[in-house]
Amino acid sequence: MVTIQMVGVDHNKAPLAVRESVSFTKGEAVHGLKQLMAGGGLSGCVLISTCNRTELWLSGWEGEQEEAVRLLCSLKGQDPSVFGPVCVGRRGEEAVRYLFELSCGLHSKVFGEDQIITQVKDALALARQAGAADTVLEKLFQGAVTAAKKVKTQLHLTAVSRSVAQKAADLLTERLGPLEGVPCLVIGNGEMGQLMARELVARGADVTMTLRQYKRGDVLIPAGCKIINYADRLEFLRLARVAVSATTSNHHTIKYEETRELLQDGKKRVLVDLAVPRDISPQLGELPGVELYDIDTLGGASMDEGSNQAVAQARQILAEGEEEFLSWHAFRALVPLVQRAGTLAGEDVAWRTRRLVDDLPLTGEERRELLEEIASAAGKVASRMLYGLREELDSDLWAPCVHGILHTLEGKENHP
């Protein structure tokens, strides 16, 4: 299988600065996918862009990894020579297996986290919006999401690790002590921002979230949280000892030039940046009394013995989904041959019944139409029987069996 491949950067090899330079908003992803499809040379593409990885998935692309890296970099105007050494490439069955594992959190920085399921699902939705999701990628991504949900339901992988929000709250407790009554500012009311706010409220913190004016009627605010306008965030920062930012903005929400003076008031503060690209100017971490942590410095959750057992069980569940997709993909290459065999079988049956049809009290046009209907019906029956081979034969026998039947039918084109 060489028609499926991916290239990308992730937290294992690429530092945050590199990852954020090829991070895509939803709008950028749709535009980029349309651009790739317009360039030709592939039948489909999907972009996965999260805080820990950016991956370009290609279908029907026969180029080398270096060429795929150039495609990815071209979408963000980046130099491929910089990204080549930290890019990872996979193709064929290796790529299929990786996507299934990725979708249930086995390759996440925080082991077993389940936000990735939604992220993979959303990536496919954006590809559809861009007209870039071909049949192969549709089947692959849907299969991976379905298998990941099955793993989540049966194994509860997240029970053996901690979420990013929990890890951030643990860090804050370590640096500041108990969080009871500590004024905390959470910038961003997306999924990660809400998770962070709930975790802080659960630990007794005094939590205030920002909310953009135009979103007030569309957002659920976690219980126990106050809200302020996003525009008032810097004024509130004077009061806060903790600021967490988790937006999808391409611009800093806490800028060095705007907050340098107010953060040098003698208070000890901890800033946590959970966004990619980063929300908080890195220079702020150099100010006296300010500690700055980002998605990389938070680190990942280590796996214990229970995690290892869960991974083994997860791989068994995933293997079923992988095999189903690989079988579908392998037989898909034979579909044109099956269709050809069905057509030939139908024509042969029609030829053998022509004398019976000739004896019927029909006009010439009616006889022709009847023979066409006989050929069509017989062809469908033959094709259905051939498709049934997928259920009855080992996959390594499909191709020789279909080829053998087709060879026999082609030998009967003269209807001996």
pLDDT in tens, 355-402: 898 888 989 899 889 989 998 998 899 888 887 877 777 777 778 888
Could you state, in order of their start, the residue ranges of all structural domains in the chain?
Answer: 4-160, 164-294, 328-409
Residue 270 Ramachandran class (φ > 0 left, ψ -120 to 50 alpha, else beta): beta
Asked whether residue 302 carries a pLDDT value surpassing 50, the answer given is no
What is Dmax (Cα atoms) for the chain?
A: 105
Q: What per-residue string of b and e applies to 48-80 under the rule 16 or more CB within 10 Å gives b?
A: bbbbbbbbbbbbbbeeebeebbbbbbebeebeb
> Which residues are catalytic, by number?
51
For residue 142, give every residue at least 6 positions away whose Cβ sits within 8 Å of its Cβ, in sequence order, or none.
124
The dihedral through the CA atoms of 124, 115, 214, 281 has a sign that is: negative
Query: How would residue 304 be classed by pLDDT, with cut points 50, 70 and 90?
Result: very low
| Terminal Cα-to-Cα distance of the chain (whole angstroms) | 39
Query: How would residue 48 be classed by pLDDT, with cut points 50, 70 and 90?
Result: very high
Fold of 164-294: Rossmann fold (3.40.50)
The two tokens of residue 298 are 């938070």
Question: Cα angle vertex 293, ends 15, 115, to 5°?
Answer: 70
Least-confidence region, from 158-162, 205-209, 269-273, 291-295: 158-162
The two tokens of residue 107 are 């390759």
Asked whether residue 109 carries a pLDDT value surpassing 80, the answer given is no
Return the pLDDT at 160: 37
User: What confidence tens digit (pLDDT) does each residue in 169-194 have?
Assistant: 999 999 999 999 999 999 998 878 88
Please name every residue paired with 269 in a beta bridge, in sequence order, or none if there are none: 290
Return the pLDDT at 157: 54
Return the pLDDT at 217: 58
Q: How much is the pTM?
A: 0.64
211, 231 contact by CB (below 8 A):
no
Pairing of strands 4-10, 53-59: antiparallel
Looking at residue 156, its amino acid is H
What does CATH list as the number for 4-160?
Answer: 3.30.460.30
Query: How would residue 299 be classed by pLDDT, with cut points 50, 70 and 90?
Result: low
